[in-house]
């Protein structure tokens, strides 16, 4: 299944990419599984596994790691940000 994955803020900078169209294996059916799948690529992708409080959205709706991912979805990852 094909999905579009978006990366924001410091995560985008660490990975060197803002978005990616990705064909997922059948066993990747949740946001958490997608995060683990990407982190398994090694450096710098392992930042996805180690970033605390990483937020995610599916089709512009904030979701938890157990949210399902299906063909055509847009999945976004947001690291914690601070500012003033």
Whether residue 47 is contained in a domain is answered as: yes
3-class state of residue 23 by DSSP: strand
We report the CATH number of the domain holding residue 38 as 3.10.20.30
Report how far residue 43's alpha carbon sits from residue 71's, in angstroms, rounded to the nearest whole number.
Answer: 27
Please report the pLDDT score of residue 46 as a whole number.
93
H or E segment to which residue 10 belongs: helix 9-15
pLDDT tens string for the chain (84 positions)? 999 999 998 899 999 999 999 999 999 999 999 999 999 999 999 988 888 889 999 999 999 999 999 999 999 999 887 555
Whether residue 65 is contained in a domain is answered as: yes
What's the structural domain count of the chain?
A: 1
CA distances to 16, 67, 81, 84 from 19, rounded to whole Å, are 10, 20, 19, 27
Whether residue 50 is contained in a domain is answered as: yes
DSSP-assigned letter for residue 61 = E
Whether residue 83 is contained in a domain is answered as: no
Question: Are the C-beta atoms of residues 33 and 40 closer than 8 Å to each other?
Answer: no
């Amino acid at each position: 299944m094909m999905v579009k994955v978006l990366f924001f803020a410091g995560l985008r900078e660490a990975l060197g990419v803002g978005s990616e169209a990705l064909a997922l294996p059948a066993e990747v059916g949740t946001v958490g599984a997608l995060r683990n799948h990407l982190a398994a690529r090694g450096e710098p992708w392992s930042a996805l596994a180690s970033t605390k409080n990483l937020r995610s959205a599916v089709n512009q709706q904030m979701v938890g790691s157990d949210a399902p991912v299906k063909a055509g979805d847009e999945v976004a990852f947001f690291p914690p940000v601070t500012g003033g």
